[in-house]
Amino acid sequence: MDTITKMLVINSTTVLPSDVVIKLYESDADVSIKETCFGVMVTGERRIVNEVLNKIRRMDPYGIFIKERGLTPGEQFRCRATRRGGARPGFHNLEMEDKLLPHIGSALRALDKGEIPEKKKKTKKLDVDKLKEIIIQETEV
Amino acid sequence: MKVFIYPTNSLILSDLVERFGHEPLAIMQEIGKKVRTPGLDSPPINITPEDPKFGLKYAAVEVPSGVRGRMSLFDSLIADAEAAIVVRDPVISFGCMGCARTNELVNFLVRAKKIPMLEVDYPESEEEAKEFVYKISGFLKSLGSRAGEEEA
């Protein structure tokens, strides 16, 4: 049996992690659930987890984001309770991406409406030679 | 189609790839395999005798062991990749957590594989996010149609 853990990161104005947990209990699927501050973690057989989470995503398709997680919740190798605190691996990237989720959610909504975004001109990074010129100019003054 | 994502633990890329009907190839799957394999003392810190061999496929023995260790995890992801979505200069790749040499090597290997590849930047505003998602959805849809054509 292929057991996996998936994490749902919730960035919604209508759905709370507790709502998702209640829906998961209602589904009566054979999965273990852990409610967290950022969302929910679900462990179970791959097919069952994918089926259940596809239904859960419909609760707010623009506010629920899902990815697989290597370790099960409370895994002793990585659980902060047994490692005496500290960020777990992957936390920093999750924290960084969490800030972008509202933008991604509205972008997905715009995509479904058929909006085509305007191509924005990227501002180029400052050339090293140009920076050297500026430094020389500034030091001469 | 199996789509390699970089950063390899990205929530956004993993979600978008799955949302548009493809399979994301992410590092979490490899870590999961290590954790679930019986016989490892403290996975994923411990490696098996087979792992250095996978690492040596990509980097010589005098290369830091961290690079080879990481490459042993990336091995099956790169081997299975049929397409790739790469974010340029992600914040997470900066510093010791990122391992710049591994990241460079992974990006090089993905490019050298000559698979369909999309390069994007992390968005910083809503407008940029719209372009980010639009590009990714277009890319993934084109992969779908390509796979369909091949089957036909």
ipTM for this model: 0.86
Domains of chain B: 2-151 (3.40.50)
- Please name the residues between 1 and 30 in chain A that touch chain B, using a CB distance below 8 Å: 3-5, 9
Contacts of A94 (CB under 8 A, 6+ apart): A9, A38, B11
Please list the ranges in chain B whose pLDDT falls under 70.
41-46, 95-98, 145-152
| Structure confidence at residue B148 (pLDDT) | 47
CA distances (Å), origin A61, targets A8, A37, B21 = 12, 19, 14
Instruction: Check pLDDT > 90 for residue A105.
Output: yes
Q: Which of the 8 DSSP states describes residue B93?
A: G
3-state secondary structure A27-79: HCCCEEEEECCCEEEEEEEHHHHHHHHHHHHCCCCCCEEEEEECCCCCCCCCC
Kindly state the average pLDDT of the residues A21-26. 94
How far apart (Å, rounded) are the C-alpha atoms in residues B134 and B47? 40
pLDDT at A125: 83
Closest Cβ opposite residue A120 in set B18, B31, B127: B127
% of chain A surpassing 70 pLDDT: 98
Chain centroid to CA A57: how far?
A: 13
Average pLDDT over every residue of A105-123: 87
CATH fit for domain A3-113, picks 1.20.120, 1.10.10, 3.30.750, 3.30.70: 3.30.70
Domain boundaries, chain A: 3-113
Query: Which of A3, A65, A107 minimises the CB distance to B15?
Result: A65
pLDDT digit string (tens) for B34-47?
A: 878 777 766 656 67
Report d(CA B14, CA B22) in Å as an integer.
10
Predicted TM-score (pTM) of this structure: 0.87
CB contact under 8 A, B133 and A104: yes
Q: What is the mean pLDDT of residues A117-137?
A: 87
